[in-house]
């Protein structure tokens, strides 16, 4: 099978590409614009494989998308390219509407035109798998406010959409477009909505890598509000396995929620990282002393938590890492991969991309 992966130079996309090249016999075409979040150094371990190809392109570029489908003739599509950082969406929403909404529309149209001219067997086997977030559902009641006797609710595949940020609203829009292309045109689409990911190769603007790297430099560890927001953490390699499982065994027209059953308050996550660093990279004072409280993010969702029962029941997927094992691996990875970290922090990875792709 040849799989066209968009956003394969990003955090989750690179885990997906590594997973496919290292664990299957499939071929991958990675289509990525290489924004600040795209880093080809995350793909060094697979870059020389003859089953891997890279196309530097913008998913909003109709002609480029049509050419890529025509040149590579993929059997399956995994669409991960997106602007993904909530804080950036608050200060600059335009890129989020452009890539997440217009880009998804452009990719869907290129995929539909390509799919329409396939022979019957390839047409039936084709999938357009759209990778999305649980943030489209808005937020859930928080245990500190919960007065009911029944268990706290979780997001299911039928939870109504109620996005809070420009990021989640743009992803919600793209989810609706993908489902409409199935219903209206018959394009065999599948949507997955996943909780917060963490793990190796994560760009240090997101909570977990930011805390690890700031702590190692003795910089403040900024915590929004009271730090009591709850997220349901999933190790990125478990997500990559889940995505491949849905791509190859999921049913067109279906949605699958993916989560790790790891609800943690942000402050608990930060304490865990500080305690691991105290053990693995001890310094004169406790890393917890670096915690600094900052004003809460506007519209900050209080709690996310996924009911991942459907994917477990129907596709037999469950996470292999607990939060305790996954976070230990992650902290150790950042300690062991200073070169990757330094290139990201200095911007050298972007220069490397310019050097290698200046003629394209
Ligand atoms: P990321 O920001 O690390 O990577 C995004 C990738 O998309 C980058 O390589 C970037 O260069 C590329 N890209 C951006 N705009 C593009 C464009 N116009 N054309 C082509 N490429 C473009 O994001 P991530 O954390 O890896 O997330 C990947 C997907 O998974 C996103 O769709 C996101 O909404 C979804 N998701 C993320 C999480 C999470 O916790 N990170 C959780 C659930 C779902």
Q: What is the pLDDT of residues 227-249, one digit of tens each?
A: 999 999 999 999 999 999 999 99
- 205-243 exposure pattern, b = at least 16 Cβ within 10 A, e = fewer: ebbbbbbbebbbeeeebbbbeebbbbbbbbbbbbbbbbb
* Residue-wise pLDDT tens digits, 162-198: 999 999 999 999 999 999 999 999 999 999 999 999 9
Largest CA distance in the chain: 67
Look-up: residue for tokens 């086997």? 125
For position 297, what pLDDT does the model report?
87
CB-count burial class (<10 Å; 0-12, 13-18, 19+) for 307: middle
| CA dihedral of residues 288, 293, 299, 301 (deg, nearest 10) | 20
Our mutation pick for probing the ligand 1 site, out of 82, 197, 260, counting the most ligand atoms within 8 A of Cβ, is 82
Whether the per-residue pLDDT at 157 is higher than 60: the answer is yes
Q: Which of 69, 24, 72, 22 is nearest to 48 (CA)?
A: 22
Residue 193 forms beta bridges with which residues?
A: 132, 257
Our mutation pick for probing the ligand 1 site, out of 4, 5, 7, 60, counting the most ligand atoms within 8 A of Cβ, is 7
For position 353, what pLDDT does the model report?
62
Residue whose CA is at the smallest distance from ligand 1 atom 28: 80
* Residue-wise pLDDT tens digits, 280-308: 999 999 999 999 999 988 888 899 999 99
Instruction: Show the tokens assigned to 194.
Output: 């996943």
- Distances in Å between the Cα of 340 and the Cα atoms of 45, 143, 324, 336 are 13, 38, 24, 9
109 against 342, higher pLDDT: 109
Residue whose CA is at the smallest distance from ligand 1 atom 35: 132
**pLDDT above 90: percentage of residues in the chain:** 91
The response to whether residue 33 sits with its C-beta less than 6 Å from ligand 1 reads yes
Instruction: Show the tokens assigned to 82.
Output: 């997106």
CA distance 325 to 323: 6
Q: Respond yes or no: is residue 185 known to be catalytic.
A: no
ipTM greater than 0.90 = yes
Min mean pLDDT across 77-81, 322-326, 355-359 is at 355-359
Q: Respond yes or no: is residue 135 known to be catalytic.
A: yes
CA distance 247 to 335: 33
Q: How confident is the model at residue 148 (pLDDT cuts 50, 70, 90)?
A: confident
- Domains, the chain, in order of start with CATH, read 2-199+234-265+299-322 (3.40.50.720)
């Amino acid at each position: 099978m040849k799989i066209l992966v968009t956003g394969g130079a990003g955090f989750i996309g690179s885990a997906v590409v590594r997973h496919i090249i290292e664990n299957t016999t499939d071929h991958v075409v990675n289509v990525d614009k290489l924004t600040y979040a795209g880093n080809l150094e995350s793909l060094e371990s697979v870059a020389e494989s003859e089953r891997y190809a890279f196309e530097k392109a913008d998913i909003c570029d109709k002609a480029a998308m049509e050419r890529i489908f025509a040149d590579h003739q993929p059997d399956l599509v995994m669409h991960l390219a997106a602007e993904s950082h909530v804080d950036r969406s608050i200060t600059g929403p335009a890129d989020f509407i452009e890539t997440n909404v217009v880009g998804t529309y452009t990719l869907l149209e290129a995929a539909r035109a390509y799919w329409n001219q396939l022979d019957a067997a390839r047409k039936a086997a084709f999938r357009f798998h759209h990778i999305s977030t649980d943030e489209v559902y808005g937020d859930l009641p928080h245990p500190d406010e919960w007065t009911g006797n029944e268990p706290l609710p979780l997001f299911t595949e039928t939870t109504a959409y109620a996005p809070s940020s420009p990021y989640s609203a743009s992803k919600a829009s793209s989810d609706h477009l993908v489902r409409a292309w199935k219903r209206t045109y018959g394009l065999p689409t599948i949507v997955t909505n996943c909780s917060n990911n963490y793990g190796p190769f994560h760009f240090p603007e997101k909570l977990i890598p930011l805390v690890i790297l700031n702590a190692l430099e003795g910089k403040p560890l900024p915590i929004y509000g009271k730090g009591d927001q709850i997220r349901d953490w999933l190790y990125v390699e478990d997500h990559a396995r889940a995505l491949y499982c849905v791509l190859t065994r999921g049913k067109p027209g279906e949605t699958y929620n993916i989560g790790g059953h790891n609800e943690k308050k942000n402050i608990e996550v930060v304490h865990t990282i500080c305690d691991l660093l105290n053990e693995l990279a001890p310094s004169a004072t406790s890393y917890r002393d670096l915690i600094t409280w900052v004003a809460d993010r506007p519209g900050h969702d209080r709690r996310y938590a996924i009911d991942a029962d459907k994917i477990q029941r129907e596709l037999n997927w469950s996470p292999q890492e607990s939060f305790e094992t996954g976070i230990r691996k992650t902290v150790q990875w950042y300690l062991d991969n200073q070169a990757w970290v330094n290139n990201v922090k200095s911007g050298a990875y972007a220069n490397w991309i310019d050097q290698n792709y200046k003629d394209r």
